[in-house]
Amino acid sequence: MIGERAISSSAILVVGLSAWLGAAVLAAAVVAPAAFAVLPTRSLAGALVGRVLPVLFYGGAVIGVVAVLLGRPWAASPARLVAGAIMIATCLAAQLIVATRIGRVRADAGRPIDELAVGDPRRTAFGRLHGASVMLLGMAAVAGGAALVLTLRAMAVAGTRREIPNSLSEH
């Protein structure tokens, strides 16, 4: 009974991590480039991507919390605990710190960032913050992938243990 519960909670985590990783890859590799390719202005494309990212970042933080909670006891799964903690930290930093600062830079600019002179400090700050956001999403994705692999590996080990006959109870 306990083993079945552990497997089902691990299965839930696998689904959550897989869905979030798929969403992260879709947003970064498809949605953002497509928005910048087809929308008439970079400002509109940035606004579209800016509406997608909070869902992605908050979702990643929630999935990270699930990975941490299901990683207990921590001695049995310290790597998944670390991966989940990295997901939480990077996703929340990207949303609560970096995205907030990007919003302030945009407001301070008073016009689209790409209309600012190349050497304008606001444009430079935006570029650095955008890079930080991309880096944090990448770190979260790597941590999420690690948590997924660790969870699948633990499920395989748990499945193998169930298949091994207990020699004491059979004799």
| Domain contains 166 | no
The C-alpha atoms of residue 99 and residue 101 are separated, in whole angstroms, by: 5
Check residue 171 and give its pLDDT: 43
Q: In the prediction, which pLDDT does 155 show?
A: 82
168 inside domain: no
Q: Is residue 171 part of a domain?
A: no
Q: Is residue 19 part of a domain?
A: yes
Per-residue pLDDT tens digits of the chain, which is 171 residues long: 455 555 578 889 999 999 999 999 999 999 999 999 999 999 999 999 999 999 999 999 999 999 998 866 655 678 999 999 999 999 999 999 999 999 999 999 999 999 999 999 999 999 999 999 999 999 999 999 999 999 898 887 766 655 545 444 444
Per-residue pLDDT, 156:
78
Burial letters for 84-111: b for 16+ Cβ neighbours within 10 Å, e otherwise? bbbbbbbbbbbbeebbebbeebbeebee
Number of structural domains in the chain? 1
Residue 114, in any domain of the structure: yes
Asked if the structure places residue 165 within a domain, the reply is no
Asked, for residue 163, whether it belongs to a domain, the answer is no
Angle in degrees, CA 28, 56, 60, rounded to 5: 115
The reply to whether 169 falls in a domain is no
Q: Which structural domain range is residue 70 located in?
A: 2-158
Q: Residue 25 and residue 23: Cα distance in Å, rounded?
A: 5
